[in-house]
Amino acid sequence: MSDKLPQSMGGEARALSLTPSERSAIARKAALARHNKDLPKAIAEGELLIGSVVLSCAVLDDEHNTRVLTQNAFLKAIGRHPFASGGTGSAIDETAPFLRASNLKPFISDDLVRSTTPVRYLPRNPTAGAGGIGFGYSATLLPEVCWVYQDALLAGKLLKGQLHIGEAARTFLKALTNHAIEDLVDEATGFADQKKRRALDRIIEKYVRKDAQKWALMFDIEFYRQIYRLNGWPFDPAKTARPGVIGKWTNDIYDRLAPGVRPELQRRVRRNAKGKATQK
């Protein structure tokens, strides 16, 4: 007779062996998982350098591929402490802490107020302290907030304790000259390459037969990026033309799969009357 309990009985036995606090933690984790399943996910993350400030940022998988700066990074960018005391600026705040001062009201539009609700999302590498949730602000919000402080600074309406924020905003706006914040986030997270890949996908969908589309890209773009890096060559993911030697190296990869693989692939490729390949 087997000493093993049926799976259901084993689960019950384990549940009975848990302390009340352990059962509560498991239940809380399950509840969070159900609650968070509809949140957008970060599909790219990175560090954005603007001037001398390094900001954590992400691109989400929602309809608009929202670019966000983490809440702490946002506060850091405008010269505020990233972990304000007393809950102000914490992850659960619904009102932006950097726009609460009454002396800033004349410089804040209604549209700006409506756009300052923190964005909740699922980071690629979540931290336990935040319950696996990331909190941020739309990246496009940062320049707008900086202009609020800049305008208040020029009008002489900033309080003494806000002057350092006004100076930080001025410095940040200078660093942003001729740059779009979303483009900067795309470059920092690597999402710029994904956008170019999507453009190529649309071309493939239009011109390549449906049954051949899955063969249109044999190697991930990262494969070529690393080849270029190792050889010290400048890499542009939008260009598909490659040095001829890469073709030889690629053939070597096929040759290593198994004897006869590459000749068989070459045999199956469609060719014209002159023997030239007409498909990949």
* Digit-coded pLDDT (tens) for 14-58: 656 677 776 666 666 655 555 566 889 998 888 887 767 788 899
Query: Are 153 and 98 in the same domain?
Result: yes
What is the torsional sign of CA 209, 215, 220, 224?
negative
The whole-angstrom separation of Cα 121 and Cα 202 is 27
Nearest to 80 by CA among 69, 66, 68: 69
- Alpha-carbon Rg for the chain in angstroms: 27
Among the candidates 189, 217, 252, a domain finishes at 189
Query: Are 99 and 31 in the same domain?
Result: no
* Per-residue pLDDT tens over the stretch 81-122: 655 443 444 443 455 777 888 898 899 888 887 778 888 898
The whole-angstrom separation of Cα 152 and Cα 107 is 7
Number of domains in the chain: 2
The whole-angstrom separation of Cα 272 and Cα 234 is 35
Query: Are 12 and 47 in the same domain?
Result: no
Domain of 63 in residue numbering reads as 42-189
Nearest to 61 by CA among 118, 121, 119: 121
Which residues make Cβ contacts (< 8 Å) with residue 32, sequence separation at least 6?
A: 131, 132
* Per-residue pLDDT tens over the stretch 227-267: 898 998 988 877 778 888 988 888 887 777 666 777 777 77
> Is 224 domain-assigned?
no
Query: Are 129 and 11 in the same domain?
Result: no
> For 145-158, b where at least 16 C-beta lie within 10 A, e where not — what string?
bbebbbbbbeeebb
The whole-angstrom separation of Cα 278 and Cα 2 is 63
3-state secondary structure of 122: strand
Query: Are 95 and 153 in the same domain?
Result: yes
20: region left, alpha or beta (phi > 0 left; psi from -120 to 50 alpha): alpha
Query: Are 179 and 48 in the same domain?
Result: yes
> Is 26 domain-assigned?
yes
Among the candidates 144, 171, 189, a domain finishes at 189
Query: Are 74 and 22 in the same domain?
Result: no
Query: Are 106 and 91 in the same domain?
Result: yes
pTM of the model: 0.51
> Is 72 domain-assigned?
yes
